[in-house]
Amino acid sequence: MEEPCGPAGAAAPLRGDAEEPKQGSVLFLGGNEVKSSAVVKYSSAPPQAAFARLQEKTDLKLPPANWLRESAKLGPAGTTILGNNKKSKPFSSFGMAYDFIDSVGNDVDVVSDSENIKKLLKIPYSKSHVSMAVHRIGRTLLLDELDIQELFMRSSQTGDWTWLKEFYQRLIDQKWQRKKKSKEHWYQKAILSKFLYYSINGDGAAQPVPSTSKQHQEGPVSGESDETGRASWPAPFEMPSSLSEDPGASNQGSVPLEPSYIVGHVASAPKEQNLTTLFNDGENSQGLKNDFVRNILWTFEDIHMLVGSNMPIFGGGRYPAVSLRLRDNNKPINVLTGIDYWLDNLICNVPELVMCFHVNGIVQKYEMIKTEDIPNLENSNFSTKVIKDIAQNILSFLKSNCTKEGHTYWLFKASGSDIVKLYDLTTLCEETEDKYQNPFTMPVAILLYKVACNMMLKKNQNKKYYGTIRTLLLNCLKLLDNGRHPQIIASANYMLSELFQLDEPKKDDSTDFPINGNSDESYSEEEEEMPDSDENGSYSNSSDPPDDNKAVAIIKSVGELSVPEKYKSVHRIRPSCAFPVCHGTEERCRLVLNYVLEGLKSVDSSVKKEGDLPAADPSTPIPLKYEDESTSGGPECLEKQMALFLDKMGSFQKGKHSSQSGMIPGSWQYKMKLQLILKSSKAYYVLSEAAMILQKYGRALRYIKLALQCHDTYCCLCASMLPEVLLFLCQCLTLCGDIQLMLAQNANNRAAYLEEYNYQTKEDQEILHSLHRESRCQVFAWATDLSTDLECQLSVSCKCYEAAYEILLFSNLKNQNPEQRVQVLKRMGNIRNEIGVFYMNQAAAVQTERVVSKNVSTTEQQLWKKSFSCFEEGIQNFESIDDATNAALLLCNTGRLMRICAQAHCATEGDLKREFSPEEALYYNKAIDYYLKALRSLGKRDVHPAVWDSVNWELSTTYFTMATLQQDYAPLSRKAQEQIEKEVSEAMMKSLKYCDVDTVSVRQPLCQYRAATIHHRLASMYHSCLRNQVGDEHLRKQHRVLADLHYSKAVRLFQLLKDAPCEFLRVQLERVAFAEFQMASQNSSAGKLKTLFGALDIMAKTKSAFQLIRKELVAESEQISKDKSSAENTLPNDSSAGLNKEEVLKLLSIFESRMSFLLLQSIKLLTSTKKKIGGINEEEAVLKTNKQVYSLLLRATANKSTTLLERIEVILNLLGQLTQNTAAGAGGVQ
């Protein structure tokens, strides 16, 4: 709970509880506006009670009855002799920082004891010495009293800090010796303490203690002070706390263990609840307690300070809050005392001061002074504006020069001197001794770590602070020694690795993190800073005496601090807290693995090595097993390994685990190593994915092998597998399956993949060595070996998917992660299709090699069974996830397998008695069933047009093949001719049904050609039936109509195709033969003439086919002449791929003979008709043309030396003449 300091009656809140802060008052002092507000963050003080106003003439030299007894009203102020001016402990700011970790690094400029703040703001007014340790955490400075006298007294006893003592004596005070406080000093302290006890004693305030007061004062004091004093410096130093002096007294000298030196304690604040800390109390707190009665967030102008104060605050009846002071009436208040009182009241937001005046310990009077009037007291005038300027200048000076996080800076001003110097003790210490001789090292490191931890836990704003967190952790690591602090080092490295999000969605790498996300000028990494030269402007001076060259910066005169804005934070620090931009996934993963490795080294170094553990040499690569197909056991041995794997996976549920290195389950090493191993596994997985995208499949397999080896070690250590870890293992195995499949499909680059697979970085080797401390890492060897056998690779891929699916099943992740289940089942279906196709192609290859034997071999049948089994399982996989499209494709492939089986059962070509067998029919019908199932699976074309069209085409092809085989190799020994014709007709019509000639696609010309061929074959069949049939006139007529219909449809379709002139020509010639057959059965001359002219018309329409043939022949002859002239290519017989010359010659000869016959018949008929009925002009013209064409044709055919092209030119010329007269002739005949 937070409250403005002052109002009485509030219960003491717990440290760290937050509420909306209520602002303190803004004060207008001495005509100069000074803004000040104070918010209590924590208070252990009881409700404020009114102070007891002492009667005049009360003798303060006599101790009250309650003197030195612990009092809640005074807090530690009573027992520490000088109440509100208790000497700071050397790490008091760290105690506060630990308790208010949220404020450190971001919102607060300074964390310190109020005494240190006051001492700094009084520098220009005081001749006293100043000695403070300054530490930087982010934008926050931590200030602590560094009592040189106390430090060197300890140094004489322990031998530590001798380098600093020598440095101090050499540069600052050659004749250093301990100075003792005067008797007057102790007298004043005792009187103040007694006054405070009288003031809380109420009615019995004037009851002095009889003569035993001396014992009260001297009894238990010495031992208590020594005990508590020793707690204030953590190891390796144990120093008694020294005491603060009266603000007006000289500050030089140190405090001996006088009888009146008594120190009290406040219970330490509760631990922060929002920070999961890794340390036990000893290491965590380092004995650094937040011992202040109040922690106040004080805003003075634009400076935000977290201040600790022990000043007792009283309620004064009509006054809500007052502070109580004792003054010697004979000594006027000086400026230093005035500033002291004013700042104390400002910090605690106390509106009034009650002053009790005494003469030689006898109370004289009380006086009340308002806080805003303090600067105007007689003999104590000071400007609040100047105090504000001093505060701003000192903060700017420190912020500009204390730039290195983790370093201990020393702000020093000698007594009576005007020069203030700032030294970097860390650098000085490293030049002379071990850096761990600096007792501030550990508290600073832990604070850096805690601030980073706290930022990490704020998930919602995580990204924004990544650069800051990284800098904090790197600076923390610089301060730590692996031998002494492996736990923090391992944890910090793990956190650094966690900053890099491996599983984030793919996007442009440069936008992954804000380049200068919160690049406060406060952050800087040591290696990125400018050297400490004279760049600090006015802070250093090249003309200074040589003994100043060790100082980082100097204020030449304390008077400068009073000049407004004399010092500004102009020294820009390179904003290196920006998160490093990783140019790609690999770079990001490598950074992660680097941090993981450092963490693993810390963990391993802290685990006692077992004697039987073989010493691994990090420079020796671990051989990656490479298995040749000759030595591998093939798919059979995979089954065993798979069973072992599943057995092992099942055993995780029973809680079996073991560590070869002897780590104790539950220890920090055990927990940390598990996290680091899992992180490395994820990094390798992401690297493998990235390599897959780049088609570097050997590299991808190496990375997934490392990922699975990490996972294997995790499994060995972990008692129970978390669902997310099992899900990740499932993803790893799925990716491994993908890689093995790609390796199988890209067998040509096997040598390159093998080279990638065997390569290993030093980092990977070292991580493997750490893994081998815990397990053999061989559980997943079956999945990650690079085989050279295609079948083995496909089988391994399938087994990976099966293993992944098994994990989903037995870990009950199937329902929690439906997406993963769908992905795995889809891949299982796909790999089973691949294996099915592989076996099917092998069966087809065996079939083509089988020449002599007519029977189907056992090998073929085994391959069919394997292939069919794979397709069937694949179909089940796809159907279980409602993937109709892929299920249809597999059904289509099963159909293809049935067709291969059908082809295998056909008799050899040499067998003249070849007939379409029942086995062929059986398998073709099975194929048809599978294709129809595929169509049913899809439902409609819209689901997936390409697959739908493909299945339709295959179905059409199957019907067509079956019909063609039945037609060409009719099974007459088993069936009647009519039945065969009926079956052929039905099959052809079904083939036509699934042959889509109308839809525009790449396959459309093929469909048109198929349809034309079907019509041609049906027409030929009906033509043949008509020739061979005797009897049933109705049936003959039906066949005649059907033949004519199919011929015309075939012609129409062939005309659409520009690359089938021969087929078109053949159909037209068959139509002519059909006309001739009809003409033979006709009796009347008119009927015959009509049929003749119809046949000649058909011939005339072949002109387009001959034009196409001529075009191709011309193009071919041009190509040949080009080739002859070209020196590079001298092959003259490079014939056109699209034209079969033998076929053209054969068809041309038939065409010439049929044309010749038709022309002769027409001439005969026309001549006989003319004799009977007299001349008809049209018929005469036709007769004349026909005679002329016939004459030219006879001459052309008689000349045997004409080329093919010349013969075609003649035919085109003759057809041209015929075309003009055919119509007229036909008209005349009618």
Helix H or strand E encompassing 553: strand 551-555
pLDDT in tens, 887-921: 999 999 999 999 999 888 875 555 556 788 888 89
CB atoms inside a 10 Å sphere around CB 1080: 9
Q: In whole angstroms, what is the distance from residue 943 CA to residue 1004 CA? A: 20
868 has a pLDDT exceeding 90: yes
Residue 1019, token pair as written in the block: 């027409």
Q: What is the pLDDT of residue 702?
A: 94
Q: What is the pLDDT of residue 548?
A: 59
Q: What is the pLDDT of residue 242?
A: 32
167 has a pLDDT exceeding 90: no
* 294-300/36-43 β-pairing: antiparallel
Question: Helices marked H in 172-253 — which ranges?
Answer: 183-199, 213-218, 221-232
CB atoms inside a 10 Å sphere around CB 928: 20
| Stretch among 681-685, 733-737, 844-848 having the lowest mean pLDDT | 844-848
Q: Region 558-582: what's the mean pLDDT? A: 62
Residue 21, token pair as written in the block: 């802060």
530 has a pLDDT exceeding 50: no
Residue 811, token pair as written in the block: 């870990």
Check residues 307 and 1124 and name the one with the higher pLDDT.
Answer: 307
Answer yes or no: are the C-beta atoms of 1101 and 1068 closer than 8 Å. Answer: yes
- Please report which confidence band the pLDDT of residue 767 belongs to, taking 50, 70 and 90 as the band edges: very high
Cα atoms in the 13 Å half-sphere on the side-chain side of 1029: 20
Distance (Å) of CA 660 to CA 97, 293, 768: 41, 52, 14
3-state secondary structure 508-543: CHHHCCCCCCCCCCCCCCHHHCCCCCHHHHHHCCCC
Per cent of the chain over pLDDT 70 is: 73
Buried b (16+ CB within 10 A) or exposed e, 526-544: eeeeeebeeebeebbeeee
Answer yes or no: are the C-beta atoms of 305 and 110 closer than 8 Å. Answer: yes
Tell me how far apart the 2 most distant CA atoms of the chain are, in Å.
177
**Backbone dihedral angles phi then psi of residue 80, each to the nearest 5 degrees:** -100, 30
pLDDT in tens, 655-694: 445 667 778 888 888 889 999 999 999 999 999 999 999 9
Residue 514, token pair as written in the block: 């804000």
Q: What is the pLDDT of residue 20?
A: 35
Check residues 228 and 789 and name the one with the higher pLDDT.
Answer: 789
Q: Which residue has 């440069």 as its token pair? A: 510
Question: Which residues, 6+ apart, have CB-to-CB distance to 775 below 8 Å?
Answer: 660, 712, 713, 715, 716, 717
Question: Helices marked H in 296-415 — which ranges?
Answer: 335-347, 384-401
Q: In whole angstroms, what is the distance from residue 507 CA to residue 686 CA? A: 14
Left, alpha or beta for 596 (phi > 0: left; psi -120 to 50: alpha)? alpha
Triad 1061, 1063, 1067: Cα angle to 5°:
115
Q: In whole angstroms, what is the distance from residue 674 CA to residue 676 CA? A: 6
Q: What is the pLDDT of residue 545?
A: 41
Check residues 320 and 299 and name the one with the higher pLDDT.
Answer: 299
pLDDT in tens, 948-978: 888 988 999 999 999 989 888 888 888 888 8
Beta bridge partners of 365: 357
Q: Region 483-502: what's the mean pLDDT? A: 86
CA 848 to mean position of chain CA atoms: 51
83 has a pLDDT exceeding 60: no
Residue 1189, token pair as written in the block: 């064409």
Q: What is the pLDDT of residue 343?
A: 92
Answer yes or no: are the C-beta atoms of 1185 and 1217 closer than 8 Å. Answer: yes
Q: Region 778-788: what's the mean pLDDT? A: 86
Check residues 648 and 12 and name the one with the higher pLDDT.
Answer: 648
* pLDDT mean across residues, the chain: 75
Q: What is the pLDDT of residue 160?
A: 67
Among 1152, 1224, 1223, CA closest to 1189? 1152
Q: In whole angstroms, what is the distance from residue 997 CA to residue 990 CA? A: 14
Cα atoms in the 13 Å half-sphere on the side-chain side of 286: 23
Check residues 1158 and 170 and name the one with the higher pLDDT.
Answer: 1158
pLDDT in tens, 586-613: 888 999 999 999 999 998 888 864 434 4
78 has a pLDDT exceeding 90: no
Q: What is the pLDDT of residue 854?
A: 65
762 has a pLDDT exceeding 80: yes
Residue 806, token pair as written in the block: 């098994």
Answer yes or no: are the C-beta atoms of 450 and 275 closer than 8 Å. Answer: yes
Q: Which residue has 């089986």 as its token pair? A: 901
- Please report which confidence band the pLDDT of residue 1114 belongs to, taking 50, 70 and 90 as the band edges: confident
Q: Region 284-296: what's the mean pLDDT? A: 72
Q: In whole angstroms, what is the distance from residue 176 CA to residue 654 CA? A: 70
CB atoms inside a 10 Å sphere around CB 1204: 14
825 has a pLDDT exceeding 80: yes
Beta bridge partners of 141: 110, 136
Per cent of the chain over pLDDT 90 is: 18
Q: In whole angstroms, what is the distance from residue 737 CA to residue 701 CA? A: 10
pLDDT in tens, 344-394: 999 998 988 989 999 988 999 888 888 888 898 888 888 888 888 889 888
Q: Region 394-406: what's the mean pLDDT? A: 88
Q: What is the pLDDT of residue 532?
A: 37
Is pTM beyond 0.85? Reply is no
pLDDT in tens, 922-934: 999 999 999 999 9
Q: Which residue has 């009182």 as its token pair? A: 341
Q: What is the DSSP letter of 271?
A: P
pLDDT in tens, 1007-1064: 888 898 898 888 888 888 888 776 677 888 888 888 889 888 888 888 888 778 888 8
- Please report which confidence band the pLDDT of residue 538 belongs to, taking 50, 70 and 90 as the band edges: very low
Helix H or strand E encompassing 712: helix 697-717
506 has a pLDDT exceeding 60: no
Residue 662, token pair as written in the block: 């002897």
Distance (Å) of CA 167 to CA 112, 239, 402, 480, 503: 26, 20, 20, 25, 53
pLDDT in tens, 303-341: 999 999 988 888 765 668 888 899 988 888 888 999 999
Sheet order of strands, 420-424 included: 36-43, 294-300, 303-309, 110-113, 140-145, 130-137, 408-413, 420-424, 551-555
282 has a pLDDT exceeding 80: no
Q: What is the pLDDT of residue 379?
A: 82
33 has a pLDDT exceeding 90: no
**Backbone dihedral angles phi then psi of residue 319, each to the nearest 5 degrees:** -100, 130
216 has a pLDDT exceeding 50: no
